[in-house]
């Protein structure tokens, strides 16, 4: 079995400083990180969250070194 680190909805909301409602809206419009519904839980693979964050940085390209996801995010269970 693959042991890919997974983010819970709560972890994602905490790190992104947003609410579950926002995450669900992003999903509805196909704009959020890829996620899997497991029972009643929404889980996102660490690699998918990081790829999504990278795409967001590339879209905004502000030139601020501190805005890179690697400096802010350490992954699930931080």
Say if 70 falls within a structural domain. no
Is the pLDDT assigned to residue 78 strictly greater than 60? no
Range of the domain at 31: 6-59
Number of domains comprising the chain:
1
Q: What is the mean pLDDT of residues 29-33?
A: 93
Residue 41 domain-assigned (yes or no) = yes
Q: Exposure pattern of 8-47 as b/e (b: 16+ CB <10 Å)?
A: ebebbbebbeeeeeebeebeeeeebbebeeeeeebbbbee
* Least confident piece of the model among 1-10, 28-37, 48-57: 1-10
Whether 5 and 46 have beta carbons less than 8 Å apart is answered as yes
Whether 10 maps to a domain, the answer reads: yes
- pTM score over 0.75: no
Domain membership of residue 73 (yes or no) is no
| Residue-level pLDDT at 57 | 83
Position 73 pLDDT exceeds 90: no
More confident residue, 9 or 61: 9
The reply to whether 42 falls in a domain is yes
Strand partners of residue 6: 45
* Cα–Cα dist 40/54, whole Å: 28
């Amino acid at each position: 079995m693959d042991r890919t680190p997974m983010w819970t909805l709560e972890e994602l909301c905490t790190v992104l400083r947003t609410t579950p409602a926002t995450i669900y809206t992003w999903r509805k419009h196909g704009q959020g990180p890829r996620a899997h519904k497991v029972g009643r839980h929404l889980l996102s693979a660490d690699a998918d969250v990081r790829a999504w964050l990278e795409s967001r940085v590339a879209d905004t390209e502000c030139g601020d070194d501190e805005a890179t996801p690697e400096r802010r995010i350490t992954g699930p269970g931080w």
